[in-house]
């Protein structure tokens, strides 16, 4: 359970909270729910990888996950990738902005030195590119999804994730 929700349960210890979560029965596992949730992650994953390609950045280490939203019943499908690299030059930043604009993204550079921050939006997606300390980070958020508190808790706990054992 995300730490932001702990304030709603101020008198529980970590052990009590864990026991509470483990004792609460999960919502019925349904293939339809699993497919819907995975569909949302697939959309943000595809958009994140397309953005990486557009900006000349590898997406190999990128992943899509559910993150806690502004309230306990809301989750945000998010794609993140971090790669090694320096802050792009002015010319490269201008090229990235042109490419984003050409592909329907609107926004721009919020800061350049010493930390690059570029924010852009398109339809139901928002992206942020940052670069500093030898790292370039891309975060893409899809529109928040209201799932209900119980379902959101179980999604964050990984109940609906496929096991990926190789």
**56-66 tens-digit pLDDT:** 999 889 999 99
CB atoms within 10 A of CB 153: 22
**CA angle, 96 as apex, 68 and 116 as ends, to 5°?**
60
Strand partners, 141: 78, 126
pLDDT given for residue 30 in this prediction:
73
Burial of 79 (C-beta count, 10 Å sphere; 0-12/13-18/19+): buried
Q: Which domains does the chain possess?
A: 13-156 (3.30.2030)
Question: What are the tens digits of pLDDT across the range 63-97?
Answer: 999 999 999 999 999 999 999 999 999 999 999 99
Structure confidence at residue 153 as a pLDDT band (50, 70, 90):
confident
pLDDT tens per residue, range 96-136 = 999 999 999 999 999 988 899 999 999 999 999 999 999 99
pLDDT score of 5 more than 60: no
Mean residue pLDDT of the chain comes to 85
Condensed to tens digits (0 to 9), the pLDDT of residues 36-72 reads 899 999 999 999 999 999 999 998 899 999 999 999 9
Q: Are 58 and 148 in contact (CB under 8 A)?
A: no
Q: How confident is residue 157, by pLDDT bands cut at 50, 70 and 90? A: confident
Q: Tens digits of per-residue pLDDT, 20-39?
A: 666 666 665 677 788 889 99
């Amino acid at each position: 359970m995300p730490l932001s929700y702990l304030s709603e349960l101020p008198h529980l210890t970590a052990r009590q909270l864990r026991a509470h979560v483990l004792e609460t029965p999960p919502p019925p596992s349904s293939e339809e729910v699993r497919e819907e949730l995975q569909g949302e992650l697939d959309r943000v994953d595809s958009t994140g990888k397309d953005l990486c390609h557009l900006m000349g950045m590898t997406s190999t280490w990128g992943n899509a996950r559910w993150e806690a939203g502004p309230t306990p019943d809301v989750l945000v499908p998010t794609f993140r990738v971090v790669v090694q690299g320096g802050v792009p030059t002015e010319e490269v930043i201008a090229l990235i902005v042109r490419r984003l604009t050409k592909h329907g993204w609107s926004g721009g550079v919020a800061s350049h030195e010493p930390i690059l921050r570029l924010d852009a939006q398109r339809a139901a997606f928002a992206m942020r590119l940052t670069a500093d300390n030898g790292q370039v980070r891309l975060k893409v958020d899809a529109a928040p999804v209201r799932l209900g508190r119980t379902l959101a808790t179980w999604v964050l706990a990984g109940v609906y994730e496929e096991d990926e054992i190789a």
